[in-house]
Amino acid sequence: MKACDFGGETLVLGQEWGIRLGLPASPLGHEAGKSRIVTLLSQQDWVRRPPDHDRSLTDAENRDNEECRPIDAALPPAQSSAPRPTVTPESPNPSSDLFGARRTVEQVEEGDELAPKFDSHGLIPCVTTDFTSGEVLMVGMMNREALARTIQSGEAHYWSRSRQQLWHKGATSGLVQKVVEMRIDDDQDCVWLRVAIPGGASCHVGYRSCFYRKVPVGTERTTGATLEFMEHEKAFDPKAIYGDAPNPTQL
Please provide residue 57's backbone torsions phi and psi, each rounded to the nearest 5 degrees.
-90, 140
Measured distance CA(186)–CA(223) in Å, rounded? 39
CATH class of 105-242: alpha beta
Contacting residues for 83 by C-beta, under 8 A, at least 6 apart = none
Distance, CA of 90 to chain centre: 8
Position 113 scores a pLDDT of 94
Position 201 scores a pLDDT of 87
Residue 115 pLDDT more than 60?
yes
The one-letter amino acid code at 39 reads T
Query: Tens digits of per-residue pLDDT, 233-251?
Result: 999 898 988 888 888 888 9
- Which is more confidently placed, 52 or 225? 225
Nearest-5° Cα angle at 176, 170 to 181: 135
Measured distance CA(149)–CA(154) in Å, rounded? 8
- pLDDT tier at 96, thresholds 50, 70, 90: low
Query: Tens digits of per-residue pLDDT, 180-222?
Result: 999 999 999 999 999 998 877 889 999 999 999 999 999 999 9
The domains of the chain are located at 2-63, 105-242
Query: Tens digits of per-residue pLDDT, 22-65?
Result: 444 444 444 444 334 333 333 434 333 444 444 444 555 544 44
Count, in order, helices (H) and strands (E) of the chain: 5, 12
Average pLDDT over residues 3-11: 43
The one-letter amino acid code at 80 reads S
38 strand-pairing partners: none
Residue 126 pLDDT more than 70?
yes
Query: Tens digits of per-residue pLDDT, 156-184?
Result: 999 999 889 999 998 888 889 999 999 99
CA dihedral 229, 250, 188, 136 (to 10 degrees): -20
